[in-house]
A and B are shown apart, each in its own frame.
Chain A
Amino acid sequence: MPESKDQIKEILPKQGLLYQEDMPTVVLCKPKLLPLKSVTLEKLEKMQKEAQETVRQQEKDAQNQQLDWFS
């Protein structure tokens, strides 16, 4: 910007907008900070997941074996 010495500053309103009355409106749910998980909980969840995996694997194996046996 040229001639910065002669710069004139803009003027800002001295007063903002005010409310004269409170009208109840609908409310939003507020933003949600997520709780961090404790080590125990993480381990529990991991264990459960692994267990589920293993069970699924075992069932699959069993099925395959059965199929083998039939064929």
Chain B
Amino acid sequence: MDPLFLAYSYFRRRKYQQCTDLCSQLLEKNPYDQAAWTLKTRALTGQVYVDEVDVDEEGIAEMVMDDNTIAQVSRPGTSLKQPGTGKGAPSQGIRPMSQSGRPVSGFVRPGTQGGRPGTMERAIMTPRTAHTARPVTSASGRYVRLGTASMLSTPDGPFINLARLNFAKYAARPNLAKALFEYIFHHENDVRNALELAALATESVQFKDWWWKVQLAKCYYRLGMYRDAERQLKSALTQQEMIDSYLYLCKVYVRLDQPLTAVEVYKQGLEKFQGETTLLTGIARIYEGMNDMDNAVKFYKDVLNFDSMHVEAIACIATHHFYTDQPEVALKFYRRLLQMGVYNGELFNNLGLCCFYAQQYDMTLTCFERALSLAEEQTLADVWFNIGHVALGIGDMTLAYQCFRLTVANNNDHAEAYNNLGVLELRKGNVEMARAFFQAAMVTSPHMHEPHYNWAALADQLGDLQSSFNAAKRAVEAFPDHVDSKELLKQLRHHFSLL
């Protein structure tokens, strides 16, 4: 068989390694074999390719030193930085919050893991826990991970030596240029060179190819030049309407913290591409980010109308139902995911919780057992945490205590577990232990209101009004609508202002 044909076949079967090896052999024989060269470039790219639209991670530097913001304090409901008032969203006391003050989503994408902390202090404090670590800037964080392929030293040096490449020559040859660009961008993760190539290439086609404009925008986006990215994408869209271009454009707007504009653009896109689920999902994500659950669920349901197998939509809707007192409905959605073949610890954990709260006790333990056997280390802690809740539900305090202990053993930064351990210790009357646990919880996740409030309430009872006051203040900061904290704070203020 023709080796090139075979290589091509490998490529199409996504056996990138074999394809690369084969191409390497071909290139050894004939270093000027353009077909083999292109194929090898594409195979190497394919190994590390991830959908760029989905990759989004903001570093601390971008967040805090964001020079694109116009106003420090935005009107409510127009910014992703200040999560909205929460239309139809369950309160923080019912649905746990992520550090950014947003409800924990039903689905995790790169970029939803952190969220923006409000201040520099907080931003620097948060990465203290290993599992919520956030890169200092996105340039060093996960993007590096994207380019890890380039960091591994290959025995005979890199495949393409970028420094010695004559970009002008390649830019003029469209058949090679596109593959080369993707290689530089994805495999080498060298945005600057990629940008140079793209700029030359788009010039050589007299700015008539929308593809190059989108690639230029990708580079600008990575370099933080959002306005340039926006310009390129708009120009690309006038030439040729593509879903991808719409998605990138919205990504730019989200980064510029203009969620409403982003939704507008998504809707324009939907006029052209009706029922496109990626666009619908985008809208839903933005509403979810703004804590506007009514709209988010509405759009996720729209997504399901067009694609009833959409994992993200199902998971998010299920989460919403669970936290709005409808575990039975959530169970239905999660079961659907199970039928679709999603099979991991997270899902079984969720199924277990739903079963328990929907009073299907016979399945609860089976689900959790399966979750424990499937979960990885990080998830394992959370699974134990939830089993602890089941134990609380059946009134077995000893078991609950052990479960929370196991949580902490698996992840010693698990603030929720510390808090609950504190509550259990308090029930046993061990005030000192309880204090220690609350303290641990406060330190590891200052964004949760529970440990602050518990600490404040405890200190108040013990007469230590000073620490109580400070803790209550932090609790109100973390959850401005928490009635008990506010009440406590009011009482303390009264105490202090009384002469």
A interface, CB within 8 angstroms of B: 24-38, 40-41, 43-44, 47-48, 51, 54-55, 58
Contacts and interface: CB of A to CB of B under 8 A. Distances in A.
A28 B386 CA distance: 12
Among A24, A28, A29, A48, chain B packs the most CB atoms within 10 A around the CB of: A29
B94 interface: yes
A38 B54 contact: yes
Contact of A29 (B312, B349, B416, B488): B416
A35 B337 CA distance: 13
A36 B149 CA distance: 26
A28 B353 contact: no
Interface string B321-336: 0110000001000000
A36 B153 contact: no
B45 to A, nearest CB: 13
A34 B109 contact: no
Contacts of A47: 48, 50, 145-146, 148-149
B135 interface: no
A36 B319 CA distance: 10
Given A26-B454, A44-B50, A44-B145, A35 B106 contact: yes
Contacts of A32: 96, 104, 382, 385-386, 416
A28 B403 CA distance: 14
Contacts of B453: 26-27
24 contacts: A26-B422, A26-B457, A27-B454, A28-B450, A29-B96, A31-B353, A33-B106, A34-B345, A34-B383, A35-B107, A35-B108, A35-B112, A35-B346, A36-B107, A36-B347, A36-B350, A37-B346, A40-B54, A40-B109, A44-B55, A44-B146, A47-B148, A48-B148, A55-B152
B241 to A, nearest CB: 24
B386 A51 contact: no
B104 to A, nearest CB: 7
Given A24-B488, A31-B353, A44-B142, A36 B346 contact: yes
B63 interface: no
B145 A48 contact: yes
B382 A34 contact: yes
B95 interface: yes
A41 B448 contact: no
B212 to A, nearest CB: 24
A55 B145 CA distance: 13
Contacts of B383: 34
Interface of B: 48, 50-51, 54-55, 93-96, 104-110, 112, 142, 145-146, 148-149, 151-153, 311-312, 315, 318-319, 322-323, 330, 337, 342, 344-347, 349-350, 353, 357, 379, 382-383, 385-386, 389, 392, 415-417, 419-420, 422-423, 426, 448, 450, 453-454, 457-458, 484, 487-488
A36 B315 contact: yes
A51 B48 CA distance: 11
B386 A31 contact: yes
A24 B457 contact: yes
A27 B453 CA distance: 8
A51 B420 contact: no
Contacts of A43: 50
A2 B357 CA distance: 36
Given A24-B457, A28-B420, A31-B353, A58 B96 contact: no
B481 to A, nearest CB: 14
Nearest to B455: A26
B419 A29 contact: yes
Contacts of A58: 152-153
A27 B450 contact: yes
B371 to A, nearest CB: 9
Nearest to A25: B457
Among B318, B345, B350, B458, chain A packs the most CB atoms within 10 A around the CB of: B350
Contacts of A27: 93, 423, 450, 453-454, 484
A7 B311 CA distance: 52
A30 B385 contact: no
A35 B98 CA distance: 12
Contact of B426 (A26, A36, A37): A26
A38 to B, nearest CB: 4
A37 B48 contact: no
Among A34, A41, A51, chain B packs the most CB atoms within 10 A around the CB of: A34
